[in-house]
């Protein structure tokens, strides 16, 4: 199978997570992604370690995000390097960057300048808070974008303070949106031979992520979503939606008819009309939590499954990774570095023509491909 | 500006959130999206209300997800209706569905059958847990997918139980991945005139979302990520990363050098070497939390901003929506129904050629476009 983006070249000036996550997905889908990195240090993510874990001098995090890419070193402040980069741009299809406003203009690689080099270029940029307004120069960082977006008041139970999602959700969503914009622009370019500028930002992606909650807020007299006191899992949904403690573990229960649930669990305390599932959710959830503590997760699951009620156990990483259902998906992907170091990571979540996309190319050492790319693409002797 | 997907027609057999969210983004980007709905009830999301909110008989949630689409009614169990749908397929570019395994085969609209009607069709399907393994017939529902994916052990502080993210994260991510796969297939089709089958699932998207945590787990002797006891915001990052309570409100602090932070806050109790930010994070975060309780958020923010340290206030919806930075982005979007009912929702987060994408077409009433589409596309007299 030829991968869908075979033949597309992306120059990735982006650092950290959002832009490089877009680049990773384009690479998975078949694009050639070349990181353009500073000679001193490269992508700052190389030095950003999680849990103090490193592989061959770069953070494991960098390896996770940048597998299946090449690295080309250039100092954009040096005329000679900049001239080389401009030659690369002339042969590229897409460029991505996440520089602060004004930086690319100063270097001379803003959209208009790049378009003069390559008229049908797709120029994609990530920012923290969009391209206008008082936050335009604020640091574009995941936790800060979460904190400003309102999302921290949707997770956790109501008596607690704001709860950030424990992953870089703003970066990940912004990276997927940037990827969508780039791909849509490539569709248009393939049909109409014109390029485009594409922008996404952490904050706008976080607002889109909350479109259910914000639309409710905007059409409901600006009443803020209220988390429940027990087992909150979605501030806008009624009982029983949530995760509950049992005698030995936990149990997730999704949207379920209250009468069915009361009968399956022999719990008359939650047998109210379905129309009261939202308005009475505090009492219902508290009663349900109390009842579920009396027996084990497997006891309750057997009863719920017998009735076809939507419920499940709550797994941790150890349990998930040894589960036959996870093994069947073959998500882990072992990539191999030229020095034979191996890193186990996870594959692209998209399947294409019944196949998973499993490039085993590891993340590049800083500048590993500078010479080869220069010979291949910059040789104009 | 011509929108990038102008001229592309999508038939959306998908219901609820993941597939229709992919369709919404394709519509934002210029595609014509036609929902194919059962005459009795249509997309089940029409009856799934959040907070008991309804607009013209359909849930506000349905309106949020399905703005900018058309609705065509067809009973796929009736030969005449099915024949009409097959004629529509012959004129479509993309179809999406989220039926359980086997349903489309039974109807006669599986990929091979559809490809026989339209050889270059892009056939996109959403499932809960992929196309193989023991969970293949399990209900594909957001909270259950979260609970099985391990993600609930990453959010909240360590002494608590599993904490689900308070939004439909699995649906949203899966919808963005499906959209990326469809767009990549459209790029290939524009260049090579061939269609493709594209698949995404809630679980695979949740695994990809955790690629940082899972890669760490897989390369670190399968040690599970451990949430911190105070201000957990990312199980893999050291102090001070988190949201803290102050004398009057909350304060988010991102990655910061400990010595800089200790100096800015006059808090010697956190002045440890940076190399201990992860290993000593419990003590550091506890000491920092205690210190921050002594003054207000604005007091601390003034000191942190003076040093350029990455920190911010924590906003709720009321505060966010009246903030000039949010107003500058013009995210709210008012859509209008034919009967003049208005719904305020949020726009597409992607900017294209410096413009936001702001179609004001509202969600369709069930079957609102059946006759018009039949006249336009099915007329073969």
Of B53, B212, B331, Cβ closest to residue A204: B331
Whether B352 sits inside 8 A of A185 (CB atoms) is yes
Selected residues 165-204 of chain A with any CB under 8 Å from a CB in chain B: 165-169, 172-174, 176-181, 183-188, 190-192, 196-201, 203-204
Best CA proximity match to A113, nearest among A89, A93, A92: A89
Residue B214: φ, ψ to 5°: -70, -35
Instruction: Read off the pLDDT of residues B230-281 as tens digits, 9 standing for 90 and up.
Output: 999 999 999 999 999 999 999 999 999 999 999 999 999 999 999 999 999 9
Of B55, B154, B254, Cβ closest to residue A143: B254
Spatial neighbors of A94 by CB under 8 A, at least 6 apart, are A8, A9, A10, A11, A26, A31, A121, A122, A123, A124, A182, A186
Contacts of B214 in chain A (CB under 8 A): 317, 345-346
Residue B188: φ, ψ to 5°: -65, -40
- Identify from B3, B4, B27, B135 which residue to disrupt to test chain A contact, counting A C-beta atoms within 10 A and taking the largest count: B4
**CB-side exposure of A311: number of CA atoms within 13 Å?**
27
**Segment A248-262 mean pLDDT:** 97
Distance CA A326, CA B149 (A): 9
Distance CA A132, CA B328 (A): 6
Note whether B195 and A262 are within 8 A (CB). no
DSSP character at residue A308: T
CA distances from A372 to A56, A340, A375, B284 (A): 21, 20, 5, 47
Best CA proximity match to A249, nearest among A307, A311, A162, A156: A311
Whether B184 sits inside 8 A of A142 (CB atoms) is no
Name the burial class of residue B9, with classes exposed (0-12), middle (13-18) and buried (19+) by CB atoms within 10 angstroms of its CB.
Answer: middle
Distance CA A28, CA A8 (A): 12
CB B105: neighbour CB atoms within 10 A?
13
CB B6: neighbour CB atoms within 10 A?
15
Spatial neighbors of A42 by CB under 8 A, at least 6 apart, are A35, A71, A73, A366, A367
Sequential DSSP letters for A88-148: HHHT-SEEEE-PPTTHHHHHT-SHHHHHHHSTT-EEEEEESS-SSSTTTTS---HHHHHHH
Instruction: Read off the pLDDT of residues A62-97 as tens digits, 9 standing for 90 and up.
Output: 999 999 999 999 999 999 999 999 999 999 999 999
Instruction: Read off the pLDDT of residues A207-238 as tens digits, 9 standing for 90 and up.
Output: 999 999 999 999 988 888 999 999 999 999 99
Whether B5 sits inside 8 A of A181 (CB atoms) is no
Query: B9 to chain A nearest CA, in Å?
Result: 13
pLDDT band at residue B31 using 50, 70 and 90 as cut-offs:
very high
Residues B177, B183, B189: CA angle, nearest 5 degrees: 140
Spatial neighbors of B366 by CB under 8 A, at least 6 apart, are B37, B39, B41, B42, B46, B58, B71, B73
Query: B41 to chain A nearest CA, in Å?
Result: 18
Note whether B281 and B228 are within 8 A (CB). yes
Distance CA B317, CA B332 (A): 13
Note whether A143 and B339 are within 8 A (CB). no
Of A65, A217, A343, Cβ closest to residue B219: A343
Q: CA-CA-CA-CA torsion for B231, B232, B233, B234, nearest 10 degrees?
A: 150
Note whether B206 and B129 are within 8 A (CB). no
What ipTM goes with this model?
0.97
Whether A144 sits inside 8 A of B320 (CB atoms) is no
pLDDT band at residue A51 using 50, 70 and 90 as cut-offs:
confident
Give the pLDDT of residue B253. 98
Note whether A19 and A36 are within 8 A (CB). no
Give the pLDDT of residue A380. 66
Residues B109, B114, B119: CA angle, nearest 5 degrees: 175
Residue A123: φ, ψ to 5°: -110, 110
For residue B130, is it left (φ>0), alpha (ψ between -120 and 50) or beta?
A: left
Best CA proximity match to A311, nearest among A242, A210, A221: A242
Spatial neighbors of A223 by CB under 8 A, at least 6 apart, are A217
Whether A315 sits inside 8 A of B52 (CB atoms) is no
Residue B356: φ, ψ to 5°: -85, 155
Whether A212 sits inside 8 A of B50 (CB atoms) is yes
- Identify from A49, A317, A326 which residue to disrupt to test chain B contact, counting B C-beta atoms within 10 A and taking the largest count: A317
Straight-line distance from the first to the last Cα atom of chain A, in angstroms, rounded to the nearest whole number? 36
pLDDT band at residue A2 using 50, 70 and 90 as cut-offs:
confident
CA distances from A355 to A79, A307, A324, B176 (A): 45, 35, 19, 19
Note whether B163 and A156 are within 8 A (CB). yes
Contacts of A279 in chain B (CB under 8 A): 52
Give the pLDDT of residue B26. 98
For chain B, say whether A340 makes contact (Cβ under 8 Å).
Answer: no
A376-379: long-range contacts, CB 8 A cutoff, minimum separation 24: A377/A87, A377/A88, A377/A91, A378/A84, A378/A87, A378/A88
Distance CA B89, CA B81 (A): 12
Can the peptide bond before residue A240 be classed as cis, meaning omega within 30 degrees of 0? Answer: yes
Q: Could you give all domains of chain B from N- to C-terminal order, each with its CATH number? A: 9-209+329-378 (3.40.50.10540), 242-321 (3.30.1540.10)
For chain A, say whether B141 makes contact (Cβ under 8 Å).
Answer: yes
pLDDT of B51 strictly over 80: no
Give the pLDDT of residue A282. 97
User: Which residues of B form the catalytic set?
Assistant: 171
Best CA proximity match to A261, nearest among A219, A224, A311: A311
Average pLDDT, chain B: 96
Catalytic-labelled residue, pool A52, A81, A171, A249: A171
H helices present in chain B, as ranges: 18-28, 60-66, 79-90, 103-107, 111-117, 142-149, 169-192, 202-209, 211-218, 258-265, 281-292, 297-306, 317-321, 324-329, 370-377
Contacts of A307 in chain B (CB under 8 A): none
Query: A381 to chain B nearest CA, in Å?
Result: 32
For chain B, say whether A154 makes contact (Cβ under 8 Å).
Answer: yes
Q: Which two tokens stand for residue A225?
A: 């979503």
Contacts of B178 in chain A (CB under 8 A): 350
pLDDT of A22 strictly over 80: yes
**Segment B194-217 mean pLDDT:** 97
Distance CA B269, CA B337 (A): 59
Distance CA A25, CA A65 (A): 10
User: For tokens 């086997």, what's the residue?
Assistant: B102
Q: Which residue of B has its CA nearest to A153?
A: B316
Least confident of A8-12, A49-53, A111-115, B85-89: A49-53
Note whether B204 and B130 are within 8 A (CB). yes
Pairing mode, strands B250-253 and B311-312? antiparallel
Q: Which residue of A has its CA nearest to B342?
A: A219
pLDDT of A149 strictly over 80: yes
Looking at chain A, how many residues does it have?
Answer: 381
Give the pLDDT of residue A50. 77
User: For tokens 């009443």, what's the residue?
Assistant: A223
How many Cβ pairs closer than 8 A exist between chain A and B?
A: 457
Give the pLDDT of residue B50. 77
pLDDT of B381 strictly over 60: no
Contacts of A241 in chain B (CB under 8 A): 143
Straight-line distance from the first to the last Cα atom of chain B, in angstroms, rounded to the nearest whole number? 36
Distance CA B198, CA B184 (A): 9
Instruction: Provide the b/e sequence for B323-360 (b: ≥16 CB within 10 Å).
Output: bebbebbebbbebebeeeeebebbbbbbbbbeebbeee
Q: Which two tokens stand for residue B367?
A: 């079957």
Contacts of B316 in chain A (CB under 8 A): 150, 153, 224
Q: Which two tokens stand for residue B140?
A: 């594909």
Crossing angle of helices B169-192 and B202-209, in 10° steps, is 100
Distance CA B76, CA B82 (A): 5
pLDDT band at residue A248 using 50, 70 and 90 as cut-offs:
very high
Note whether B124 and B181 are within 8 A (CB). yes
Note whether A53 and B213 are within 8 A (CB). no
Whether A321 sits inside 8 A of B217 (CB atoms) is yes
Distance CA B39, CA B48 (A): 17
pLDDT of B358 strictly over 60: yes
Instruction: Read off the pLDDT of residues A287-319 as tens digits, 9 standing for 90 and up.
Output: 999 999 999 999 999 999 999 999 999 999 999
pLDDT of B380 strictly over 80: no
Contacts of B177 in chain A (CB under 8 A): 176, 349-350
Selected residues 351-370 of chain A with any CB under 8 Å from a CB in chain B: 351-354
Best CA proximity match to B357, nearest among B30, B22, B66, B19: B30
């Amino acid at each position: 199978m030829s991968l869908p983006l075979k033949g597309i070249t992306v120059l990735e000036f982006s650092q950290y997570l959002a832009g490089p996550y877009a680049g990773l997905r384009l690479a998975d889908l078949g694009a050639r992604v070349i990181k353009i990195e500073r000679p001193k240090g490269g992508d700052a993510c190389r030095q950003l370690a999680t849990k103090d874990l490193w592989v061959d001098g770069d953070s494991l995090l960098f390896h996770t995000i940048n597998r299946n890419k090449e690295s080309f070193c250039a100092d954009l402040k040096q005329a000679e390097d900049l001239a080389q980069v401009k030659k690369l741009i002339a042969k590229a299809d897409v460029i991505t960057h996440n520089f602060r406003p004004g930086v690319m203009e100063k270097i001379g690689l803003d959209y208009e300048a790049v378009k003069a080099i390559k008229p049908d270029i797709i120029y994609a940029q990530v920012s923290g808070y969009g391209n206008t307004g008082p936050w335009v120069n604020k640091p574009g960082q995941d936790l800060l974008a979460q904190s400003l977006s309102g999302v921290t008041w949707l997770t956790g139970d109501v008596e607690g303070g704001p709860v950030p999602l424990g992953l870089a959700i703003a970066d990940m969503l912004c990276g997927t949106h940037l990827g969508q914009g780039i791909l849509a622009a490539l569709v248009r370019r393939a049909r109409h031979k014109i390029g485009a500028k594409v922008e996404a930002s952490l904050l706008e992606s976080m607002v889109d992520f909350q479109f259910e909650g914000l639309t409710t807020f905007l059409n409901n007299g600006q009443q803020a979503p209220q988390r429940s006191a027990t087992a909150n899992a979605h501030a806008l949904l009624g009982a029983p939606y949530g995760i509950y403690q049992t005698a030995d573990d936990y149990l997730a229960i999704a949207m379920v008819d209250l009468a069915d649930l009361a009968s399956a669990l022999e719990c008359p305390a939650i047998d109210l009309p379905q129309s009261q599932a939202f308005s009475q959710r505090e009492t219902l959830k508290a009663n349900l939590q109390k009842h579920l503590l009396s027996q084990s997760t497997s006891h309750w699951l057997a009863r719920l499954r017998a009735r076809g009620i939507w419920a499940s156990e709550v797994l941790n990483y150890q349990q998930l990774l040894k589960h036959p259902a996870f093994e069947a998906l073959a998500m882990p992907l072992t990539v191999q570095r030229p020095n034979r170091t191996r890193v186990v990571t996870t594959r692209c979540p998209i399947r294409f023509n019944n196949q998973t996309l499993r490039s085993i190319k590891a993340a590049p050492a800083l500048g590993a491909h500078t010479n080869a790319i220069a010979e291949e693409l910059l040789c104009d002797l």
